[in-house]
């Protein structure tokens, strides 16, 4: 007999004696054979109505009662300390504090949030949980039952409780359940009474099921989702299972299958019932109706089912075209009165794997996805409906069309939003046992003791979410090994739902393990590895045996990351069976805290946990948006690469627009174009009727009425603007964009003399001074020579220029370079190589109207020299050329950057530059950052990553100015292009040393200067992962030591007219 069912029957037979004493030596929360006691079978998500007015919200229905809100609460550190008899109606809880439901009790001041990725937060000894520390939350409140509920069924619903809980109503134990991310329902008809009632809930932080909830997130606990009561008639609709599909001949004609489970809980037979179904389109027009006579015996149920009903042509559902129909379901008695009624929003669509491709409605869609944890920086795992909708809006903003519910089923409302607005969902079961590893003889995936729990968690997910068109495939879990338990779950999922494919990432790593996936999705695998291990082999198989590849996790977005993203998608768009992936992940999981003086920061692992509990530091901060939902700069690159429309420059003024959509044309958009001359808008226009069908291209010409001159640089920017295309986004929002260089300037910066006044030279052994009208430049034998730059009596250089090879380590850098690894020490030495340089030669040359001073700096540790040449012109400008000359360039690998640093007065905090922006960008993450003329503030160049690190960089910069309110300041004018940072803090402030430190944004206090880095190049940020050298930037985005050379001119700005 099924163990779960056996426990239910035993509990019922004994009249629900204290459930924890059924097997006195093993409490339910340590017994893997007890998953639920006295719970009802899982069903799809729907609301019961008394009539056919479906406009009312659930909260407004008289037969529903929310139990969200204030409860009395007690926290105990261990089970032995809990108030064991608190469920008794006579137990006085007036002295207890209040807690809001839903909430995580750690975010209300009870116990400790724990962040760990793999290592369990308790001893690894399945199924046992430590009795000396397993906090228990005791919840209690009262509620009233209306007299109108008499004679009806009354059900108690918990949408999510973490991790295991017992329930009592009016002092009597109702049941027990575990499995924290899918709903639990109890029949409390025999427990409630008209008038005041008492409910008590006892929640355990950990249970034996917690070994399957070892996800990479904050370990929190409590009643995390909605709690409510509802009443039905004795005969009611128990479950609704719908399959709106399509005729696969043309994918335009709808096929409807349904299975309606009607239950009679009375002791009388129910004859003459009628089940009526009506299918309505978006306008409310009825397109199909049917009715069925129903007779049900006493205390039993009846299933009314039909399959593949032809309903004619339909508007199909996809993430691009989320057309929904409404199916009204009405149960009437023989008198014609409504006994029960409900409705479901459904979408006609198909999913399949065919010929090695994942198909939606017969099309090989591309999944431009993210992984999404349920996270709120204040409330932990409790996410409001408002924030869920904001997530959908932001996903649409950034061209993200798919979500993997990592790593558990989400709140049911999220799926409603995905249905309504169009998001593909990879729906994942609440299974991860990473801490047990993947070995066949160790993983819980092969442990018979946990077979029932594996299958149960998949079943509850599938049965709850079956009707959602947004759910395009099921995922059995994450990082939990592979074995017989997953094979049982895989087989069950296919048997119950033949309409969807099933995914599991750990499948197909070993031939000895069972096949448990229809989609290969190996996380963080490089393109080269995929080609070798999957693509080459897959392509050799017959078409019908091939499977698609979709990364379940890729482009690890930890801190300053997401480099190389264009390369991923160039490859995806080239390979037939590679169909995208899910970025790890959507949002930083920082928890909001405040310093003593009220400054907000976001906590991560190590900020709460005692030394005795393992934590994984800031590995929970991997989002492309911050904990506060502010977008990280990388999201602009992601938006650009994920975009669904692409402009192509065909030469001269000829262009092409490609619509990458599979179902949707561009009729509700318009095209905007702009011509820029040296960063200044020279011409622009709007094209209104450029409608392009899905997967098609159209050619068009632009008329540049502005005549381009040969000595200037011209870019064309093209945009697709929203004009009703995305209902959630504002009009004219930029959906897609491309930039094209249509003409390069035919001149370069010159070193020819600029004569405006005579120069005076004073040369000493230790010092060289060049003076002109209103300026003085001083050189000495330190650093790279330049010591002072005084203009109109003001020292512009608050800190002298220095050679620099170092950047503050990013999270990806820390993942690649380990302080404890002797082989990695050479990387950390780059921090000091420039500091340890020594001037070994100085040469002063007089030229017409200018002086050339050349310094040679010996860098003995890397067997190289660096020459810096200064040309001081008579107008006060200083042209600077720096070049690295290494005897063996190939030995100088992984230089973080090559450039100079110096500091200027903080009053010059207006920044005007001509380069890529407006957001932070790096050489491997700048395709979505267009070359333009941008004006900003130094404070706004800072990017407050949750753990301070390298930030604020800009690439392809032609010039940059720092100015005060009068326009005076300093300019750097590149001969070609340079890169720069400009912040109120030096590199050292963001650099904790060779190992990470427990640092936050509150540790970065602005200083009195602006610290500037002018670089030839800085290495890309990488991001394939954040824990190995594979996470570093691709070789083409690393520095070539044989080509480290750059030239720029330093200029004083003395008047507002110098602003360009």
**What is the C-alpha to C-alpha distance for residues 667 and 318, in angstroms, rounded to an integer?**
17
Paired sense of beta strands 850-859 and 838-847, if any? antiparallel
Contacts of 859 (CB under 8 A, 6+ apart): 833, 834, 836, 837, 865, 866
Rounded-to-integer distance, Cα 530 and Cα 538, Å? 10
Distance CA 558, CA 485 (A): 32
Host H or E run for residue 565: helix 565-574
Q: Report whether 455 contacts 489 (CB < 8 A).
A: yes
The closest alpha carbon to 587, from 762, 726, 863, 403, belongs to: 403
Q: What are phi and psi of 278, to 5 degrees?
A: -135, 125
Max alpha carbon distance in the chain (Å)? 113
Quickly tell me which residue has 């030239």 as its tokens.
Answer: 1047
Q: Six-digit token pair at 998?
A: 């427990």
For residues 61 and 47, the answer to whether their CB atoms sit within 8 Å is yes
What is the three-class DSSP state of 771?
strand
Q: Distance between CA atoms of 328 and 341, rounded to whole angstroms?
A: 8
Sheet strands side by side (includes 654-659) = 645-651, 654-659, 697-701
Q: How far is CA 58 from the centre of its chain?
A: 31
CA angle in degrees (0–180, nearest 5) for 574-575-576:
120
Q: Are 978 and 1016 in contact (CB under 8 A)?
A: yes
b/e 877-890 (16+ beta carbons within 10 angstroms → b): bbbbbbbbebeebe
Distances (CA, A) of 970 to 111, 791, 918, 961, 1015: 54, 10, 20, 6, 16
Q: At what angle do helices 484-496 and 451-465 cross, to 10 degrees?
A: 30
Contact 143, 192 (CB under 8 A): no
What is the distance between the alpha carbons of residues 624 and 369, in angstroms, rounded to a whole number? Answer: 12
Query: DSSP string covering 186-225, please?
Result: EE-TTT--SEEEEEEEEEES--GGGGGB--SEEE--EE-S
Q: How far apart are CA 657 and CA 647, in angstroms?
A: 5
Q: How far apart are CA 860 and CA 766, in angstroms?
A: 22
Query: Per the structure block, which two tokens stand in for 396?
Result: 């649409």
- 3-state SS assignment for residue 15: coil
Could you give phi then psi for residue 1036, rounded to 5 degrees?
A: -70, -15
Under a CB-based contact definition with an 8 Å cutoff, are residues 279 and 256 in contact? Answer: yes
Catalytic residues: 479, 553
CB atoms within 10 A of CB 1: 7
Burial grade of 734 (CB within 10 A; 0-12, 13-18, 19 or more):
middle
């Amino acid at each position: 007999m099924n163990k779960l069912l056996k426990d239910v029957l035993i509990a019922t037979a004994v009249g629900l004696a204290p459930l924890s004493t059924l097997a006195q030596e093993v409490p339910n929360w340590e017994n893997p054979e007890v998953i639920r006691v006295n719970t009802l079978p899982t069903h799809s998500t729907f609301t019961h109505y008394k009539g056919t007015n479906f406009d009312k919200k659930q909260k407004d229905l008289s037969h529903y009662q929310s139990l969200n809100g204030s409860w009395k609460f007690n926290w105990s550190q261990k089970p032995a300390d809990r108030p064991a008899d608190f469920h008794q109606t006579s137990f006085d809880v007036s002295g207890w504090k209040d807690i809001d439901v839903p909430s995580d009790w750690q975010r209300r001041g009870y116990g400790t949030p724990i962040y760990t990725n793999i290592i369990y937060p308790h001893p690894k000894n399945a199924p046992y949980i430590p009795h000396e520390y397993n906090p228990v939350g005791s919840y209690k409140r009262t509620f009233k039952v209306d007299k109108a509920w008499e004679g009806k069924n009354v059900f108690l619903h918990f949408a999510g409780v973490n991790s295991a809980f017992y329930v009592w109503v009016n002092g009597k134990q109702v049941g027990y359940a575990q499995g924290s991310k899918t709903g639990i329902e109890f029949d409390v008809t025999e427990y409630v009474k008209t008038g005041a009632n008492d409910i008590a809930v006892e929640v355990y932080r950990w249970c034996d099921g917690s070994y399957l909830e070892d996800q990479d997130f904050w370990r929190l606990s409590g009643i995390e989702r909605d709690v409510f009561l509802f009443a039905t008639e004795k005969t009611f609709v128990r479950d609704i299972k719908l399959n709106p599909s399509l005729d696969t001949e043309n994918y335009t004609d709808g096929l409807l299958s349904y299975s309606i489970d009607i239950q009679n809980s009375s002791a009388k037979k129910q004859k003459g019932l009628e089940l009526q179904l009506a299918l309505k389109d978006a306008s409310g027009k009825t397109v199909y109706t049917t009715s069925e006579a129903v007779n049900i015996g006493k205390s039993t149920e009846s299933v009314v089912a039909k399959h593949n009903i032809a309903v004619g042509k339909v508007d199909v559902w996809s993430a691009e075209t989320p057309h929904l129909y409404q199916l009204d379901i009405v149960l009437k008695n023989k008198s014609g009165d409504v006994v029960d009624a409900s409705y479901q929003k459904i979408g006609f669509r198909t999913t399949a794997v065919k010929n090695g491709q994942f198909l939606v409605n017969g099309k090989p869609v591309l999944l431009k996805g993210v992984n999404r944890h349920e996270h709120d920086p204040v409330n932990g795992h409790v996410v409001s409906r408002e924030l869920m909708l904001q997530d959908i809006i932001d996903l649409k903003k950034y061209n993200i069309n798919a979500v993997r519910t990592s790593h558990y089923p989400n709140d049911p409302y999220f799926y409603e939003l995905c249905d309504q607005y169009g998001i593909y969902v990879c729906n994942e079961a609440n299974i991860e046992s990473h801490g047990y590893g993947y070995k066949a003889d160790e993983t819980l995936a092969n442990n018979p003791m946990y077979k029932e729990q594996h299958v149960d968690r998949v079943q509850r997910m599938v049965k709850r979410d079956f009707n959602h068109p947004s759910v395009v495939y099921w995922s059995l879990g994450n990082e939990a090994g592979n074995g017989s338990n997953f094979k049982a779950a895989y087989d069950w999922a296919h048997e119950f739902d033949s309409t969807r494919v099933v995914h599991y990432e750990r499948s197909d790593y070993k031939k000895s393990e069972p096949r448990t996936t229809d989609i290969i999705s190996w996380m963080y695998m490089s393109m080269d590895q995929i080609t070798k291990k999957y693509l080459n082999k897959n392509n050799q198989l017959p078409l019908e045996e091939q499977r698609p590849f979709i990364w379940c996790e890729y482009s690890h977005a930890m801190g300053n990351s997401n480099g190389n993203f264009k390369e991923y998608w160039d490859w995806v768009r080239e390979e037939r069976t590679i169909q995208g992936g899910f970025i790890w992940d959507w949002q930083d999981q920082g928890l909001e805290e405040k310093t003593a003086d009220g400054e907000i920061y976001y906590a991560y692992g190590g900020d709460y946990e005692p030394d005795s509990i393992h934590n994984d530091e800031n590995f929970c901060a991997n989002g492309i948006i911050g904990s506060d939902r502010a977008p990280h700069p990388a999201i602009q690159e992601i938006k650009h690469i994920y975009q669904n429309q692409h402009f192509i420059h065909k030469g001269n003024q000829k262009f092409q627009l490609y619509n990458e959509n599979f179902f949707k044309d561009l009729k509700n958009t318009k095209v905007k174009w702009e011509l820029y001359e040296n960063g200044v808008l020279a011409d622009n226009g709007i094209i209104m009727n450029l409608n392009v069908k899905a997967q098609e291209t159209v050619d068009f010409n632009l008329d540049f009425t502005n005549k381009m001159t040969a000595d200037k640089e011209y870019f064309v920017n093209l945009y697709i603007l929203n004009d009703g295309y995305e209902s959630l986004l504002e009009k004219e929002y930029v959906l897609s964009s491309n930039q094209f260089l249509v003409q390069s300037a035919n001149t370069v910066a010159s070193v020819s003399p600029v004569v405006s006044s005579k120069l005076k030279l004073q040369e000493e052994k230790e010092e060289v001074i060049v003076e002109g009208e209103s300026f003085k430049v001083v050189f000495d034998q330190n650093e790279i020579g330049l010591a002072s730059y005084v203009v109109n009596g003001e020292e512009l250089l608050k800190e002298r220029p220095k050679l620099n090879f170092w950047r503050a380590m990013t999270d990806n850098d820390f993942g690649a370079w380990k302080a404890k690894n002797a082989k990695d020490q050479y990387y950390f030495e780059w921090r000091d190589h420039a500091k340890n340089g020594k001037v070994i030669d100085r040469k002063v040359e007089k030229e017409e109207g200018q002086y050339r001073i050349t310094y040679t700096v010996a860098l003995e540790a890397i067997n190289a020299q660096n020459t810096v040449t200064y040309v001081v012109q008579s107008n006060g400008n200083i042209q600077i050329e720096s070049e690295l000359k290494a005897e063996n360039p190939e030995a100088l690998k992984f230089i973080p950057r090559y450039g100079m640093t110096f500091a200027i007065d903080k009053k010059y905090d207006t920044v005007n530059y001509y380069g890529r922006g407006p957001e932070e960008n790096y050489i491997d993450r700048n395709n979505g950052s267009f070359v333009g003329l941008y004006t900003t503030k130094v404070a706004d160049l800072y990017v407050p990553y949750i753990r301070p690190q390298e930030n604020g960089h800009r690439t392809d910069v032609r010039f940059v100015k720092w100015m005060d309110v009068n326009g005076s300041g300093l300019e750097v004018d590149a001969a070609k292009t340079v890169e720069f940072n400009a912040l109120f803090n030096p590199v050292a402030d963001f650099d904790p040393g060779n190992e990470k430190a427990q640092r936050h944004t509150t540790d970065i206090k602005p200083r009195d200067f602006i610290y500037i880095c002018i670089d030839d190049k800085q290495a890309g940020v990488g991001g394939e992962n954040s824990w190995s050298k594979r996470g570093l930037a691709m070789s083409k985005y690393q520095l070539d030591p044989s080509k480290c050379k750059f030239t720029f001119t330093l200029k004083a700005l003395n008047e507002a007219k110098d602003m360009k």
